[in-house]
Structure 1
Amino acid sequence: MNAFSADAAADLLVAQFRQGTKTQPAMSGPGTRAEAYQVQDRMIAALGGACGWKVGRAKTDPEPYCAPVPASRLLNSGGDYACFHGVAQVEAELGYRLGRDVPPSAAVLDRAECAALVDAIVPALEILETRLEPLAAQDPLWKLADLQANGALVVGKPVPWAGQDPGQVRLAIGSGQDGAFEEVAHPFGAPFDLFCWTVNHVARQRGGLKRGNVIITGSYCGIVEIRDPQRFVATFADYGDVCLTVL
């Protein structure tokens, strides 16, 4: 087993990303979140930059974690998606879209300053694709290094920002108009707090954010697995719908 190297880990994962394959690394994985973030940064630079970020929080750790979303995998609602290794894994989310750049800075932005950065809420589908075979994919730090398994981001029509709180939403998922609305709580309870943490983390440690970046904060429906060709639609009562056709 080779020793961990952020450069070697990023090269390995980028190759799987481009080829649509998975691997069991023959090297030790990252030992800290900081090392996993080093791999992410090298990956996203090689893949052409980020269109946004995903953020989450483990139940056993109050510190959130995040990963950049490759700009090359930003899709508009209504597009097609070929199953990754026979299954599409999809999450229905809402994203905060930035209305202006956030330059690198050591300052900590407060909630009001973070809110002033947002120009829209965007209905979104995150597509999950691990570049790792199961043994490595079950390692939280390898998974984090692998962009937290992000495969693509599908975005719908933005809704102008007016301070909405998407901590509780009405959501219907299905193949068209067949889904029934259900009242759903955000999986981490306070999505705007996660947005603020991400803005500050990326501005202070990861080079800043760009106007138009979308920050997604967690799935309202868990992971939906789709194995047969079909149209998948997520409709938020207050934020519109977003869809894709799984091939």
Structure 2
Amino acid sequence: MTADNVLDGVAKDLLDAYRTGDPIAPPRETVDGLDLDGAYRIQQLQEQAFIDAGRTVVGRKIGLTSLAMQQQLGVDSPDFGFFTDDLVFADGADIEVSRFIAPKVEPELAFILGSDLAADATIEDVHAAIASTHLAVEIIDSRVRDWDIRLVDTVADNASCGAVILDRTPVDVSLEDLPKVTAEMSIGGDLAGSGTGSDVMGHPLAPLHWLAGVLGEQGVPLKAGDIVLTGSFCGATPVVAGQRVDVDYGPYGRLSATFI
């Protein structure tokens, strides 16, 4: 079996896991010597399969941008994945837990781009490209059994993306104040985590600068209209049916959803 066939097989297994709810063995155990290039190739094969099925990629998520999340998953660098239009929920939504395998939630900020970003974009270019800032919660999930993941495993599994909860109303916050934004996440009324924008690589837009370069190298530039989640303010917390997640962003508002 060729190396390409092996990567294609893992991509198909991950796609099956979405449908069946049955997680798979860590890709690192299936693909001998799996590296980041191979892991992103597995992710890209799934993205193309989603597109071929009629789904529309509307944005990118950047993960592992806070020390809390890197320590939680035992990695030392960010990663990224994609999400499609059918994976975006509104503030206050009721979300069926059965669509996931082992979901967790984490508070973030999302940015909608008003212009394209090239691979050589400067941080000033990134700031200029932001059309609007939004409150968001990412639901992460793992098609890998028992969340037994290292960096290559989560990359192959679309950076463990499950879905996105997005408040479509823009937040009135200056880009300079983004590091000062606070978030307190409660689940079922109990505090589950908190952090500030500075916990996201020092500034919530720093990961977007990183992503523009990495994606550009792969020939996939960020486009105007893309929604980008730049990483969690704190560690992720599991959720089960019957729980409600609330995130308080202080003067910038609140975001909530109920898992059913």
1:220 to 225, 228, 233: 233
Counterpart of 1:118 in structure 2 is: 130
CA offsets 1:204-235 (integer angstroms, 9 cap, x no match): 31422233322222212311222350321112
Give me the TM-score of the superposition, normalised by structure 1: 0.83
Counterpart of 1:243 in structure 2 is: 256
CA offsets 1:70-98 (integer angstroms, 9 cap, x no match): 33312122212222567541111112221
CA 1:200–1:165 in structure 2 vs 1: closer, same or farther (change >3 Å)?
farther
CA distance in 2, matches of 1:75, 1:205: 29
CA 1:196–1:230 in structure 2 vs 1: closer, same or farther (change >3 Å)?
same
Counterpart of 1:154 in structure 2 is: 165
Structure 1 residue ranges without an equivalent (≥5): none
**Does the Cα contact within 8 Å between 1:88 and 1:246 map onto a contact in 2?**
no
CA offsets 1:43-70 (integer angstroms, 9 cap, x no match): 1121134222222345797753222223
**Does the Cα contact within 8 Å between 1:186 and 1:218 map onto a contact in 2?**
no
Give me the TM-score of the superposition, normalised by structure 2: 0.79
**Does the Cα contact within 8 Å between 1:29 and 1:142 map onto a contact in 2?**
no
CA distance in 2, matches of 1:62, 1:139: 10
Bigger helix fraction:
2
**Does the Cα contact within 8 Å between 1:30 and 1:142 map onto a contact in 2?**
no
Structure 2 residue ranges without an equivalent (≥5): none
1:68 to 82, 99, 107: 82
CA distance in 1, matches of 2:101, 2:124: 44
Give the alignment's Cα RMSD to 1 decimal: 3.2
Q: Secondary structure at the match of 1:67?
A: strand
CA 1:3–1:189 in structure 2 vs 1: closer, same or farther (change >3 Å)?
same
2:209 to 196, 202, 209: 196
CA distance in 1, matches of 2:44, 2:83: 11
Q: 1:119-198 alignment to 2 at 5 Å?
A: 119-134=131-146, 137-156=148-167, 157-160=169-172, 162-174=174-186, 184=196, 185-198=198-211
**Does the Cα contact within 8 Å between 1:29 and 1:141 map onto a contact in 2?**
no
Of 154-163 and 7-16, the range deviating more from structure 2: 154-163
Counterpart of 1:36 in structure 2 is: 39
> What is the percentage of aligned positions where both structures have the same residue?
24
How many residue pairs were aligned? 243
1:90 to 101, 105, 121: 105
Query: Is the counterpart of residue 21 in structure 1 residue 22 in structure 2?
Result: yes
